[in-house]
Copies of this chain bind each other. A is one copy, B any other.
Amino acid sequence: MDVRLMDGLNMSRRIRRTPYTDRFEQVGVRGFSVVNHMLLPKAFQTSVEEDYWHLREHVQIWDVSCQRQVQIEGPDAASLVQWMTPRDIGRAKVGDCLYVPIIDANAGLINDPVLLKLAEDRFWLSIADSDVLLYAMGLALGRGMDVSVSEPDVSPLAIQGPRAEDLLAGLFGDHIRDIGFFKYGWIDFAGTRQLIARSGYSRQGGFEIYLEGGHLGAALWDAIWQAGQPLGIAPGCPNLIERIEGGLFSYGNEMTRDNNPLEIGLEKFCCLDGSVDYIGRAALQKIAADGVTQQIRGVAFDGGPCPTCSKPWPVMVGDSQVGQITSAIWSPRLKRNVGQSMIARSCWKAGQRVHVVSQDGMIRDGEISDLPFA
């Protein structure tokens, strides 16, 4: 195994365990990532390729507790949330999940959470890897807003794959079949009412249960694990092959504060007509008027399975760097490497021939692709 794919992770309380970590250890987790100061199981007894095929065909249980919730509650809650995102949340209804980019004053991306509207004055931001809690607290303190900002004891568990709906309908009732994409409903579990959304970080369908009460974690796992046996359930995680092919982006990888949402193709989540006020609006409107100079694209490339991408790889046309790959892996289905890359306007058309300089120093032929990959 490439040493850079997986070195050791030193454990401490600071890197928080989740309500499901014990169970994942029991089924043989052997690698983690760290997101929001919390463990994200990322490697199992099986290979990433085996996990990929399994996810596409069966059902998996993922510990995504690291998708922490930032709860914003109170009379000014809706104002604060709207101030944080260029997306117009004015027409959102209770029961909706909304993908909401969060940007700074220069329109640089701070996070790209899913917003859950729980009530007119109560929201959860289900966050990617940055302390949105501290940002929201700072904004509220600075502006003197009447809100409470907190991290509730909520630990999402994702059930992903084509058999997810059958599994969960069997356990919790057929009413979950009626939950629309990016909507949420409720299930009863162990005498409690728990939020369940049709969402998740794959293109294979499925749900996320926002378990409230960490002490129920093992019991929830056990119930799903047991019911999933006939369906071939396996432990899993966001699968790098599947997410790259599917055009799902990762905050900190494909986008950082150096990127604006238009570069990431998030125009449809950005209100640019001036009807909504938010941090970074003037900067974003100017970028939109000028046109972006780079945008995210796929790159398919050759040369056999590429190494792990742990730093940006130059994408070249002739002697000029025209972009950088930030995530890449071998696709066993497409029989090529697939990557996601920020690409300069002059070269971002699908089919453009490029060279990729991968982390092992190899120069690989490839071409620009639209996302998702076919």
Which residues from chain A sit less than 8 Å from chain B, CB to CB? 3-15, 17, 25, 29-34, 37, 42-43, 104-105, 110, 129-132, 134-145, 250-253, 279, 308-312, 326-327
Known contacts A8-B7, A30-B7, A141 near B105 by CB under 8 Å: yes
A311 and B33 form a contact (CB under 8 A): no
Q: Name the residue in A132, A139, A145 with the highest tally of chain B Cβ atoms < 10 Å from its Cβ.
A: A139
Contacts of A312 in B (CB 8 A): 13
Can you list 15 pairs linking A and B with CB atoms under 8 Å apart? Answer: A4-B11, A4-B25, A7-B8, A7-B9, A14-B250, A14-B253, A15-B33, A37-B130, A105-B137, A130-B134, A138-B139, A138-B141, A138-B142, A139-B142, A142-B142
Q: 16 more A-B contacts (CB under 8 A) besides A6-B8, A7-B9?
A: A4-B11, A9-B31, A10-B43, A12-B252, A12-B308, A12-B310, A13-B252, A13-B327, A17-B311, A131-B131, A136-B138, A137-B138, A138-B138, A140-B142, A142-B143, A142-B144
Complex interface: chain B residues within 8 A of A13 (CB): 252-253, 309-312, 326-327
Q: How far is the CA of A34 from the CA of B40 in the complex (A)?
A: 12
| Assembled-state Cα–Cα distance A33/B8 (Å) | 8
Nearest CB on B from A284, distance (A): 15
A14 contacts which of B6, B25, B137, B251 (Cβ < 8 Å)? Answer: B251
CB nearest neighbor in B for A4? B11
Q: Which residues of B contact A141 (CB under 8 A)?
A: 105, 138-139, 142, 279
Specify which chain B residues have a CB less than 8 angstroms from the CB of A3 in the assembled complex. Answer: 25
A136 CA / B131 CA spacing, docked (Å):
12
Specify which chain B residues have a CB less than 8 angstroms from the CB of A110 in the assembled complex.
134
Given known contacts A139-B138, A279-B141, A253 and B12 CB-to-CB distance under 8 angstroms: yes
Complex CA distance for A142 and B29, rounded to whole angstroms: 43
Residues of B within 8 A of A31 (CB): 7-10
* Whole-angstrom CA separation of A5 from B279 in the bound complex: 42
In the bound complex, CA of A309 to CA of B32 (Å) = 17
